[in-house]
Structure 1
């Protein structure tokens, strides 16, 4: 065992001894080191992206197969991933017509809502979801057999059985041993309110790659209101008011029947004169019985939180569970027309507040007092806005919820403002040179608000990442006392990473992205020359090319995904490529550039936040006053953890290797460099500090052409079959790897799992694939299009 493995085992044993009490842990572990947490009852594994979720489940499947092989059927578990409808829906009519997550949710509700299904029983022309209907018919028989299911596996299983994989996964969460999903399922109150009630207190919660968990907590309780949001909310209110006014008054009609009004079929059941309205699935409204209105009125009187205002398919209250009022709804918003009048006054008030020429910052208490004084809306009414809106939408049986997102955002804003008196602020900016639209944000500054229910509900919570540095700052940001707080050292079989700090160009001019230096022509020229020189010598894993394709990350997700796919194709075919990404962006946070997809990462500058941002200034002020965290310490900590996350994209396993260049003179300062993770500092030698471009080029040539090729030869994993003489292998290796110095690989290792392997050639820095056609099916062969591969006959 490696020393770090033994150390982790001792810490896990100590953590298990105290696991009967509530325990929260911080564990900075490099991303390619296995993380094994003892399963008490249920493991809730939280990741940041869907890609990481799939990768986690794939690794768990490999481990599960090993357990079944050695322990037998007793080692069977049920593990699955849970994601949104967009990633699990298999209904062609929903997937093909949907553009985003909200539209997928709305299209699903149009087919699966209870009132839609009840009407479809008597009117076969009303469309429904066959997958959901078959899932409902299966009832208790709709279960998943033991195993590990990725999102793709769930979709395939759903198509095979004819069941909806989204609702099946939701149902099987309570029976699963391991559940993998995103942070929002625990930290976002609107989503956590649906999922948390199905989890036992003894469950073990793991937040993986949690270096920015404080930002996720803040985003969960923050709302951005723009002028477009207010205009859209006005349209939503007009539409709802118009449909309510069109309520059909049926006189003297008894019994049940179908009637045609304004070209629409209406199903009516009336035993006395009642003005009523609900929304039909085809877009119109119809009359309904008095029982529905009486039931809604009872919910409002007794309290929505006590009786339950919405089914589990709807999002919950944006406030935390303990902060939701469990009492009757105020009388002035019980009637629909009165409630819409309150929302109109609130929207008009927000429109007036946006028409300002100065930056305004208010606390929630002052803001609520201003609303009450000008438009007559008190704090209690604001707290009930979100629940009252969704109760009205359910009574009207609205299914196209994506059209009412604007008014839902306003109600989120009102509920949070009326609920919390500390930790948030309202910032109104009349102008912002970075954005064309001026937001009116409700900004949360206290990350402990969102994660506090997780600590209180679950017995064991583990926060782990490769960039939890400095580790003592996270308990202060999240306001908890960890029982175990350890940083593990990394033991590698070879020197596979080479970090460097570049402070000046070849002309000895300092390089930095500081505000007073970023526009200097000398800095731009040295940065460009550094990139061009490195491109000319760094291999992409296949071969060396003098010119490489360039791909750039943009704000468009589709465009960025296409650029990333083409980047990988360029590396696979031997052309090579350069990918420009943005720190704190989607690529830098969740995309792995393992193997030949990433051999060098250059960090241009220090990724500080925009220090003139009013939101950041307000948060720094709150951290200083509440947690005694200095502004400079937090800004440096935040920038260095992002830089470490960016450079860590190229090292994803112990078999990988890559170079990292921190191109900014500020990295040479001890206060900046010391906040980098230990796995980087342990390889950052004094000889690699304060370098110029030509010195970095010399080190890069030495590493890529000297040190790493020799290392790769010594640890090269080559399958040598028993019937093949070793001299035959040596001749093949000499023909390919020994062209420059006539030296063949000096060490051979057999791989029991793979029939082929990559070998890096000394002096040529090329990757070649050795394999036997007689032992491996031809379908598995992926020959290099350039013809660099050697296939023994």
Structure 2
């Protein structure tokens, strides 16, 4: 079916269109014409995905200089696959109507867990284990060692992609995750890095919210995407939760205990490196003096996760002298760890603003705000310098470093109108089995909430 949507020729791959779909297309075209933001809503099951794809693909073909790319963000892998299949039907309809194959590329991108085809990695169940194993096979220093000793473990799929995959662009067509994995097996190329490389020249990219909203991932994957791209968030009411999750860190006592083990391992590694290759630590110190931008200029395989949210101006600065050397930085992390452990010994609920937390940190263990901002990037640099291959083992310490960077970068506390402006005191029964059983005292605002142990009334 061919439609005229306010002067724009739109190919629609079905024989019938709902009136709501046509209205949806008209509103979407007005949004694109205005070069602004739009919030559009349709009931479930009325074909909003195909309507959106049909309109934007037609707009791309009519105004190639205005809209260079469509970035479609969805929540889950099944939803991503559904969008790709709708896009495949649409492209097939275009080619059937015009009688020729179009130079159009659309693809899905997901995590290594969903794209890796290496036989040693695919059996792993958890994403962080897959990422860690991938890094242990593709890091630049691992590959350099392989050049001298071919018996060392490596990833032949990434080696083939690095040698030949960048020279040959991905053929035109629509690729879901299984298509990318099948192509990777045929060519001997890594599907994950092939997809990451191909999104730069793809017409349509479909991936998760996190690739655009989570700073730790977006800085590695989406940083180079064209500014004239149209971004679509499917089920946009989930954006708030995704942003909150991306900028939140939860530390438990078990995590902190594992941090202690990480610090001891790093301490032993630093001592060993000082005895065998001290120049490596000196080179890192020089890079940190020059600034984090230079220190973080690593190959794509070395960047496991970017820093959580460091502003660009911070990356231009030199790392504070108190954490430049490896020994000083590990001592810094040890003091931070002990303070956080001490804070978790409380038996009641405590909520405070970031400035209050930083003030207590400075008073008790003499840690200032500025070096905390560099924690995540400094730890990443140290792990790279020490040539740590299995980064999954150091995820607890990475979590602590991310916490330090976040709490020191954003000092303004959040506010939500759901919180009452006037404090109140209440007593609540937590059980209906006995009148007055287990009351709880609650006081708001949440900055001072106290929950004593339950008590039983005297008989």
- CA distance in 2 between counterparts of 1:615 and 1:316 reads 37
Confirm or deny that 1:388 pairs with 2:414.
no
In the alignment, is the contact (CA less than 8 A) between 2:354 and 2:413 conserved in 1? no
For 2:359, the equivalent position in structure 1 comes to 369
- Where does 1:128-139 land on structure 2 (aligned, <5 Å)? 128-139=154-165
Higher helix share: 2
How many Å separate the matches in 2 of 1:614 and 1:225? 25
Structure 1 or 2, whichever has the larger Rg, is 1
Q: Is the 8 A contact 1:304 1:328 kept in 2?
A: yes
Residues 322, 118 of structure 1: alpha-carbon distance in 2 compared, 3 angstrom cutoff: closer
- Separation in structure 1 between the aligned mates of residue 445 and residue 91 of structure 2, nearest angstrom: 45
* Equivalent residue, structure 1, for 2:323: 333
Give 2:23's match in structure 1, choosing from 7, 10, 30.
7
- CA shift digits 1:662-710 (9 cap, x unpaired): xxxxxxxxxxxxxxxxxxxxxxxxxxxxxxxxxxxxxxxxxxxxxxxxx
User: Structure 1 residue 516: deviation in Å?
Assistant: 9.7
C-alpha distance in 1 between matches for 2:431 and 2:232: 40
Provide the residue aligned with 1:763 in structure 2: none
What SS does structure 2 have at the residue aligned with 1:198? Answer: coil
Please give the secondary structure, in 1, of the residue aligned with 2:39.
strand
* Cα 1:136/1:325, change in 2 over 3 Å: closer
Q: TM-score, normalised by structure 1?
A: 0.48
Shift of 1:225: 0.5
Across the aligned residues of Structure 1 and Structure 2, the Cα RMSD in angstroms comes to 2.6
Note closer, same or farther for the CA distance 1:395–1:320 as it changes in structure 2 (3 Å cut): closer
1:76 aligns with 2:103: yes
Q: Which residue of 2 aligns with 1:413?
A: 403
SS of the equivalent of 1:6 reads helix
| Contact 1:79–1:147 (Cα < 8 Å) also in 2 | yes
How far apart are the structure 2 equivalents of 1:24 and 1:613?
A: 42
Please give the secondary structure, in 2, of the residue aligned with 1:95: coil
Q: Which runs of 5+ in 1 are unaligned?
A: 251-274, 277-289, 425-444, 447-472, 474-514, 521-611, 619-793
Q: How has the CA–CA distance of structure 1 residues 306 and 614 changed in structure 2, closer, same or farther, with 3 Å as cutoff? A: farther
Q: Is the 8 A contact 2:351 2:446 kept in 1?
A: no
How far has the Cα of 1:309 moved from its partner?
4.9
- 1:174–1:198 CA contact under 8 A, matched in 2: yes
Distance 2:73 2:443 in 1: 31
Match of 1:360 among 341, 344, 350: 350
Correspondence for 1:402: 392
Once the two structures are superposed, what CA deviation does each residue of 1:485-529 show, in whole Å capped at 9, x if it has no partner? xxxxxxxxxxxxxxxxxxxxxxxxxxxxxx999989xxxxxxxxx
Q: Is it true that 1:300 corresponds to 2:314 in the alignment?
A: no
Q: Could you say which residue in structure 1 is the equivalent of 2:239? A: 213
Structure 1 residue 293: deviation in Å? 3.7
Q: 1:295 to 1:246 in 2, by over 3 A?
A: closer
Structure 2 CA distance for aligned equivalents of residues 333 and 242 of structure 1: 18
Q: After TM superposition, list the pairs within 5 Å mapping 1:126-275 onto structure 2.
A: 126-247=152-273, 249=275, 275=277
Larger strand fraction of residues:
1
Paired with 1:7 and 1:517, the residues of 2 have a C-alpha distance of: 51
Change (3 A) 1:615 1:129: farther
Deviations 1:551-596 (A, max 9, x none): xxxxxxxxxxxxxxxxxxxxxxxxxxxxxxxxxxxxxxxxxxxxxx
Alignment of 1:460-471 (within 5 A): none
| Matching of residue 25 in structure 1 with residue 38 in structure 2 | yes
Distance 1:337 1:517 in 2: 51
1:379 maps onto 2:406 in alignment: no
Q: Distance in 2 between matches of 1:423 and 1:82?
A: 35
